[in-house]
Amino acid sequence: MASIKDVAAEAGVSVATVSRVLNDHPSVSADARTRVLAAVESLGYRPNAVARSLRTDQTHTLGLVISDVLNPYFTELARSVEEEARALGYSVIIGNADERPDLQDHHVRNLLDRRIDGLLVSPTDGGSPLMLDAVRAGTPMVFVDRWIPGVDVPVVRADGRAAVRDLVAHLYGLGHRRVAIIAGPAATTTGRERVEVFREALQEHGLDLPEAYTGQGDFQAESGRRVTEGFLDLAEPPEVVFAADNLMALGALDAVRARGLRVPDDIALAAFDDIRWFVHTDPPVTAIAQPTGELGRAAVRALVDRIEGRPGESVTLPARLVVRRSCGESPSPVQRSTT
Amino acid sequence: MASIKDVAAEAGVSVATVSRVLNDHPSVSADARTRVLAAVESLGYRPNAVARSLRTDQTHTLGLVISDVLNPYFTELARSVEEEARALGYSVIIGNADERPDLQDHHVRNLLDRRIDGLLVSPTDGGSPLMLDAVRAGTPMVFVDRWIPGVDVPVVRADGRAAVRDLVAHLYGLGHRRVAIIAGPAATTTGRERVEVFREALQEHGLDLPEAYTGQGDFQAESGRRVTEGFLDLAEPPEVVFAADNLMALGALDAVRARGLRVPDDIALAAFDDIRWFVHTDPPVTAIAQPTGELGRAAVRALVDRIEGRPGESVTLPARLVVRRSCGESPSPVQRSTT
DNA sequence: TCCGTCGATGTAATCGATTCCACGAGCACT
DNA sequence: AGTGCTCGTGGAATCGATTACATCGACGGA
């Protein structure tokens, strides 16, 4: 592959001049410029990004460590992140942690070794020493969706409080009283927070969330299935199950279907995270929708701000309830969506 | 960030010795080794992958350019690719072409500029000059799922011929005679091939696939919706629609639902690519399942073989039909799956 | 005419690693 | 004792870019 030296030789100038043309530095003659460009063209020269990065100490690359690629919420996030980054002149390297702290660390280490300019993370756990070190060392970082409390890093996330309150009101209005949750890992902020917010909202209606009705999941489908099985095995199963993410809701559907039961007649279901498929499931699933694309874009903007020396602020956007049929038919015509 | 020089100074040896320890070269004394390792530890030193790549001309990185991240088939593929690559000591950089040739070229160029060791592509079109140049220049490459005919690059893919034949037999057995397809872009091999195979299978039953019943889609949901609308507007709509991928099937479901019609009573539906959600859609969708994970792993193995100087062969694995309820109830108990 | 300035260019240092080559010490063999 | 190993080590070149600094010619003003 042709290097800058080959171009210089072909154009009959020095490598410095070639570099100046390529980075459109002002002081280069029109004549030299055209000769260099012709040489670039004829050799099919492309600058070596590795060499450039070594010299300039910039890779124009962002690292994105997401919790689970198989989760449509995160793939949509990844997509919007890449789009916005591209618009700002950056590329993105994605690492999939698969909800495993060790894999998360593997990817963070790998990305740091590659000297990415900044890191976007939705942490799977309470904060590995590795990540804390990176923050301390001054690596530009932004948390998205989930975060690590007590670390001075901007957080871009959705606030589900109002939507969860709407959901509980909806459930209450349909007559449901025995309500259960499939929680995410307690090591994650979203894992804890969604349970707390849900419990508070229930209390406002005088309902509580007993131990037996809080199942511990890990945000992946299999755990949703397992926890739901447990609920169905209880002497008095819940009337509704709220899954803290879409994959655990999928697992819950699996469990219900495996027993030959029906949603919502035998047991109702709601989920955090709305995805396109929920419109077409049997029945369509009531869910809390996050402004996923906007979150991804805001996170990139915050990170690039940090990288380029501007402040880079936290952003919180509201989530909203999308009512469908999985919790039962509304007696009154409340807001109903089919999209 | 500490460099190899800092480590050398701290350990009281030369950079050459540090490098030897790090790459466990045999001829280095036990004493020097322990001093170096201690220095590495105390400085928290991590080798700069950028510098290393520049010197060795290896990045230990594979590029993966996929057609659409929002397609669960491709995210599953991406996941298995990353897993296998990691096992073999490589990282993966994913580029999402979003079914757009220009974006595909953008990513290919970006990856080549980064001097990735090899490229895994499922091309969105018939072959951009850029990609052909890369092949000619000797970049190790492997096509996965889709390929470009006439280019000497290993192809790892599923053969859907038998499964499509099974599908047609199934449809025929259920009494369907007016059969339509939502095709993928003619510029892609899978786009063309699935139509041809389907048409051939129909002919074996004496059925044909008229022009009006072959809709042109682009593998994305919106096109599936649009084409299905067209079918439903016909004076004599088809009895079955076969979508050439899962996203177009989703779009078809959208169209059917928007008219207040039901699958399979008003119109039956089948899809290429099976995904978890198809079990829970209303109704569960009959689909052709590819061995996605195995394809991803085989593709990585073939690519790494090429990179490391071994042959690296094409692989074709069979797809299989998974019958569910979206084409109507089987009169006879044929193979039926609920998973 | 001379000097200062400016524009265009080249030389060489530099980034952080790897690796070829040279060198000295220690040891075995003759 | 001299020769020829091997082993451990350091010096320095190298990868492909960017960029500080030096140089040189032209030109304008005094």
- What is the residue range of B18's domain? 4-47
Q: Which of B78, B91, B281 is closest, CB to CB, to A282? A: B281
Which of B:269-308 have CB within 8 Å of A? 276-277, 279-284
pLDDT confidence of residue B37: 97
Q: pLDDT tens for residues B263-297?
A: 999 999 999 999 999 998 989 999 999 999 999 99
Task: Supply the DSSP symbol for A276.
Answer: G
Is the CB of B276 less than 8 angstroms away from the CB of A221? yes
Confidence label for B211 from pLDDT (cuts 50, 70 and 90)? very high
Which one, of A221, A326, A317, A247, lies nearest residue A283 by Cα? A326
CA distance A325 to A285: 6
Q: Identify whether the C-beta of residue B27 lies closer than 8 Å to the C-beta of residue B20.
A: yes
User: Does any domain span residue B152?
Assistant: yes
Which of A81, A100, A114 to mutate against chain B (most B CBs within 10 Å)?
A114
pLDDT confidence of residue B185: 95
Do A133 and A83 sit in the same domain of this protein? yes
pLDDT confidence of residue B336: 44
For residue B31, say whether its CB is under 7 Å from any atom of strand D.
yes
For residue B214, say whether its CB is under 7 Å from any atom of strand D.
no
Q: pLDDT tens for residues B13-56?
A: 999 999 999 999 988 999 999 999 999 999 999 999 999 999 99
Is the CB of B54 less than 8 angstroms away from the CB of A48? yes
| B chain contacts of residue A91, beta-carbon cutoff 8 Å | 93, 110
B236-265: average pLDDT: 95
Q: Which of A49, A70, A82 is closest, CB to CB, to B96? A: A82
Q: pLDDT tens for residues A302-326?
A: 999 999 999 989 999 999 999 999 9
A55-81: average pLDDT: 97
User: Does any domain span residue A23?
Assistant: yes
Q: pLDDT tens for residues B106-145?
A: 999 999 999 999 999 999 988 889 999 999 999 999 999 9
Confidence label for A338 from pLDDT (cuts 50, 70 and 90)? very low
Nearest residue of A to residue B280, measured between CA atoms: A281
Do A15 and A74 sit in the same domain of this protein? no
User: Does any domain span residue A241?
Assistant: yes
A137-152: average pLDDT: 95
User: Does any domain span residue A325?
Assistant: no
pLDDT confidence of residue B335: 46
Prior bond of A264 cis (ω within 30°): yes
For residue A56, say whether its CB is under 7 Å from any atom of strand D.
yes
Prior bond of B318 cis (ω within 30°): no
Is the CB of A79 less than 8 angstroms away from the CB of B96? yes
Is the CB of A114 less than 8 angstroms away from the CB of B49? yes
Residue B265: exposure state from Cβ atoms within 10 A (0-12, 13-18, ≥19): exposed
pLDDT confidence of residue A25: 92
Q: Identify whether the C-beta of residue B28 lies closer than 8 Å to the C-beta of residue B17.
A: yes
Do B206 and B270 sit in the same domain of this protein? yes
Q: How far is the CA of B19 from the C1' of C19 (A)?
A: 10
- Which residue has tokens 């890990």? A218
Q: Identify whether the C-beta of residue B154 lies closer than 8 Å to the C-beta of residue B306.
A: yes
Name the protein residue, with chain letter, whose CA is nearest the C1' of C6.
A27
What CATH number does the domain containing A64 carry?
3.40.50.2300
Using the CA of B29, give the nucleotide whose C1' is nearest.
D8
Domains contained in chain B, number: 3
Using the CA of A52, give the nucleotide whose C1' is nearest.
D17
Q: Any idea which of A3-7, A199-203, B148-152, B333-337 has the lowest mean pLDDT? A: B333-337
Structure tokens at A186: 């307690």
CA distance A130 to A120: 14
CA distance A148 to A328: 37
- Which residue has tokens 């060795």? B56
Q: How far is the CA of A29 from the C1' of C8 (A)?
A: 7
Do B12 and B77 sit in the same domain of this protein? no
User: Does any domain span residue B198?
Assistant: yes
For residue A259, say whether its CB is under 7 Å from any atom of strand D.
no
Q: pLDDT tens for residues B147-156?
A: 999 999 999 9
Q: How far is the CA of B16 from the C1' of C30 (A)?
A: 36
The total of other beta-carbon atoms located within 10 Å of residue B236's CB is 8
pLDDT confidence of residue A125: 87
Is the CB of B137 less than 8 angstroms away from the CB of A76? no
Is the CB of A75 less than 8 angstroms away from the CB of B79? no
Nearest residue of A to residue B262, measured between CA atoms: A280
Structure tokens at A95: 């690492």
The total of other beta-carbon atoms located within 10 Å of residue A274's CB is 25
Instruction: Say whether A180 sits in a helix, a strand or coil.
Output: strand
Is the CB of B53 less than 8 angstroms away from the CB of A48? no
Do A301 and A209 sit in the same domain of this protein? no
Confidence label for B80 from pLDDT (cuts 50, 70 and 90)? very high
CA distance A282 to B283: 7
pLDDT confidence of residue B330: 62
Do B104 and B128 sit in the same domain of this protein? yes
How high is the mean pLDDT of chain B? 94
Do A150 and A297 sit in the same domain of this protein? yes
User: Does any domain span residue A324?
Assistant: no
Q: How far is A2 from chain B (nearest CA, A)?
A: 11
pLDDT confidence of residue B57: 97
The total of other beta-carbon atoms located within 10 Å of residue B23's CB is 10
Q: How far is A150 from chain B (nearest CA, A)?
A: 23
Using the CA of A31, give the nucleotide whose C1' is nearest.
C8
Do A232 and A253 sit in the same domain of this protein? yes
CA distance B157 to B152: 15
Instruction: Reply yes or no on whether the pLDDT at A207 is more than 90.
Output: yes
Instruction: Reply yes or no on whether the pLDDT at A75 is more than 70.
Output: yes
User: Does any domain span residue A212?
Assistant: yes
User: Does any domain span residue A53?
Assistant: no
Instruction: Reply yes or no on whether the pLDDT at A298 is more than 80.
Output: yes
For residue A4, say whether its CB is under 7 Å from any atom of strand D.
yes
Instruction: Reply yes or no on whether the pLDDT at B216 is more than 70.
Output: yes
Prior bond of A284 cis (ω within 30°): no
Nearest residue of B to residue A106, measured between CA atoms: B86
% pLDDT > 70, chain B = 97
Q: Identify whether the C-beta of residue A95 lies closer than 8 Å to the C-beta of residue A38.
A: no
B60–A contact, CB cutoff 8 A: no
Q: Identify whether the C-beta of residue A269 lies closer than 8 Å to the C-beta of residue A257.
A: no
What CATH number does the domain containing B32 carry?
1.10.260.40
Is the CB of A44 less than 8 angstroms away from the CB of B72? no
Instruction: Reply yes or no on whether the pLDDT at A332 is more than 50.
Output: no
pLDDT confidence of residue B329: 78
Nucleotides on strand C lying under 7 Å from protein C-beta: 7-12, 14-20
Do A69 and A188 sit in the same domain of this protein? no
CA distance B262 to A280: 12
Confidence label for A330 from pLDDT (cuts 50, 70 and 90)? low
Give me the sign of the Cα torsion angle A68, A321, B252, A78. Answer: negative
B307-326: average pLDDT: 95
Nearest residue of A to residue B55, measured between CA atoms: A51
Do A284 and A235 sit in the same domain of this protein? yes
Do B234 and B246 sit in the same domain of this protein? yes
Instruction: Reply yes or no on whether the pLDDT at B338 is more than 70.
Output: no
| A chain contacts of residue B69, beta-carbon cutoff 8 Å | 75, 78-79
% pLDDT > 70, chain A = 97
Do B191 and B146 sit in the same domain of this protein? no
pLDDT confidence of residue B126: 81
Confidence label for A126 from pLDDT (cuts 50, 70 and 90)? confident
- How many residues would you count in chain A? 339
Q: Which residues numbered 52-81 in chain B sit less than 7 A from strand D, measured from CB?
A: 54-55, 57
